[in-house]
Chains A and B, each alone.
Chain A
Amino acid sequence: MTHEAPASEHDDHDSPYEGLFGGDSDHWAFGTDFDDPLAGIEATIPDGADPRALAQYCLMLGDDALVLSHRLSQWCGRAPELELDIALANIALDLLGQARLLLARAASADPSVVPPLPGASEAVPSPVPAEDALAFFRDDRAYRNAWLAEAPNGDFGQTVARILLFATARLALLERLRASRDAVLAAVAAKGVRELAYHRDFAARWFVTLAQGTEESRRRVTAGLAEVWRHHDELFRAHPVERELAGAGVAVDPADVAGEADAALATVLAASDLPWPEVPQAGQLGGRSGRDGAHTEALSSLLAEMQSVARAHPLGRW
């Protein structure tokens, strides 16, 4: 059986689907345009910056975003309400976008950080982009994220507390990083500031709501805050790489933004009628922490899940 094409062109005249595909996008009420955050950005490495240090710095910022993005995506289908499910997934996707740009920058600054893929060779080149290879084929010891990002989710209150702490610190950092001498980092920071301002607002609003809600919600969010606050100080402890690049005008020394981040946190705590948390800080492992590649076992199980499919098909095309 064959189907005849419409007999005459005027049959199509009233079709609502006419012109739907291709051509002018003006008929989309909301537009279809997307911005490339790196459009027109100069990708050369600034004078006086060690490319290997720059790559390590990009891994620190990128891994923070990647690992927390994965943690938040673990809420998918499990959040208390459908609307929160979408909100947490949105935040996760924003962070994933930042991670992608930062890991790609790490790979371009120092290609030796990209792990070789099993089975890939000169004859069979890897089909995987460098940022994907960094995300899916590095072991936990090569990750440079802070421990706050890898800690388990806990309940919704604890997740809100974590986003609040993370977004407040990262927003303060990226606001200054917009002035980086590295044009790529500056562009990523400019994009990230808009996103993180929303993440912080979302978390602060929910934090106050839960703290001033019922006895149970207050108890939970306070307990969650105490749990994530163990990783507060690490966020503002400068690694030698950060200090070196901050001296070159490329990075931001996190210690320099502790004051303004703490001031923002104090505002949220005051609105919540909660005292400044006095919580013992998580110790280091033999003097090393997340920025040095020393991690808790929470990261290895997270990566085992996140990397399992990619590692099962190292030469797969996605």
Chain B
Amino acid sequence: MSEWPLYEVFVRGKRGLNHVHVGSLHAPDDQMAISHARDVYTRRNEGVSIWVVRSDAITASSPDEKDPLFAPSGDKVYRHPTFYEIPDNVPHM
């Protein structure tokens, strides 16, 4: 039997605003991947929405490029909104 393709699974929780990557699984097709994701990753009442995407459809940054891609932002403190006080009643910050 040829191997099923790998899928990455993203679940949005009841209290979550975003889909969060929770893991991966094998499935024969897209619909079956949703079905498997429901069984594997939402068994404990976790999710209200599931995304699946074939892993080979994801383009990832390479570890070799880590320095040029990410290091330059390290010293640019002005890019961070850390100088504002956020009122307590502003949610999801």
Contact = CB atoms under 8 A, between A and B. Distances in A.
Interface of A: 26, 29-31, 33-34, 80-83, 86-87, 90, 198, 201-202, 205, 209
A81 B15 contact: no
Interface stretch (B26-34, B68-76, B81-89): B26-34
Interface residues of B, number: 24
A33 B15 CA distance: 13
B57 to A, nearest CB: 19
Q: Which 7 A-B pairs have the closest CB atoms?
A: A30-B46, A83-B36, A30-B13, A87-B39, A29-B13, A86-B39, A90-B39
A30 B14 contact: yes
Contacts, number: 49
B39 A83 contact: yes
- Summarize A's interface: helix, strand, loop or mixed: helix
23 contacts: A26-B15, A29-B13, A29-B15, A29-B46, A30-B13, A30-B14, A30-B15, A30-B47, A31-B15, A31-B45, A33-B45, A80-B1, A81-B26, A82-B25, A83-B25, A83-B26, A83-B27, A83-B39, A86-B43, A90-B39, A90-B43, A205-B31, A209-B28
Contacts of B47: 30
Interface of B: 1, 4, 13-16, 20, 25-29, 31-32, 35-36, 38-40, 43-47
B45 A34 contact: yes
A33 B46 CA distance: 10
Contacts of A87: 35-36, 39
Given A82-B25, A83-B25, A209-B29, 19 more contacts: A26-B15, A29-B13, A29-B15, A29-B16, A29-B20, A30-B45, A31-B45, A33-B45, A34-B45, A81-B4, A82-B26, A83-B40, A86-B39, A86-B40, A86-B43, A87-B39, A198-B38, A201-B35, A202-B35
Contacts of A33: 45
Contacts of A90: 39, 43
Contacts of A209: 28-29, 32
Given A81-B4, A205-B35, A30 B40 contact: no
A22 to B, nearest CB: 19
A80 B26 CA distance: 12
A80 B32 CA distance: 14
Nearest to B46: A30
Nearest to A26: B15
B14 A31 contact: yes
Contact of B44 (A30, A81, A201): A30
